Structure 1
């Protein structure tokens, strides 16, 4: 299976409105997964195999619920190419 990119954004509904702490829990799931990733101001992008990345998204949603979210809306983007696609080929020219 080719290496692809999955980007996702969690939008948790949190009592009191402190979403940053809950979003941090979702990002921690990605960090522990061991896949290459980049955190951006609006979403987190990961690189790997589709099934593994979607499982990480599911775990990140659950981490939000476990941290007190009553509901989590998750936006997911998948960049798939049969030959694979990497984050470096898309943004490498912008890195120092």
Structure 2
């Protein structure tokens, strides 16, 4: 499969449940941090960089955690940017604005 670096924006939107939505989001961010993928937490999304397969594994890990933790319902928004023959990083898009 594609072996270049891709980047993704992940946004978890818990729907209802027994916990405050921020608690579920914090738990998903902890999973992202444990993945050791490069990431940056923002106010609305967390940007993650890694191989395509690592990003897909992370998405699966987040969903699996939510299922096992009995989150009633959620929306996991994913934006994925890829290039067919080269890496793409968040830094190349944002460094000029810092």
TM range (shorter): 0.7 to 0.9
Whole-Å separation in 2 of the counterparts to 1:4 and 1:71: 28
1:94 corresponds to which residue? 97
TM-score (norm 1): 0.87
Whole-Å separation in 2 of the counterparts to 1:66 and 1:11: 17
TM superposition shift of 1:61: 2.2
1:72 corresponds to which residue? 74
Please give the residue correspondences for 1:23-42 in structure 2 after superposition, counting only pairs within 5 Å: 23-42=25-44
TM-score (norm 2): 0.86
Whole-Å separation in 2 of the counterparts to 1:27 and 1:90: 22
Please give the residue correspondences for 1:45-60 in structure 2 after superposition, counting only pairs within 5 Å: 45-60=47-62
TM superposition shift of 1:16: 4.2
Task: List runs of 5+ in structure 1 lacking aligned partners.
Answer: none
- Tell me the C-alpha RMSD between the 2 structures: 1.5
Query: Number of aligned pairs?
Result: 95
Task: List runs of 5+ in structure 2 lacking aligned partners.
Answer: none
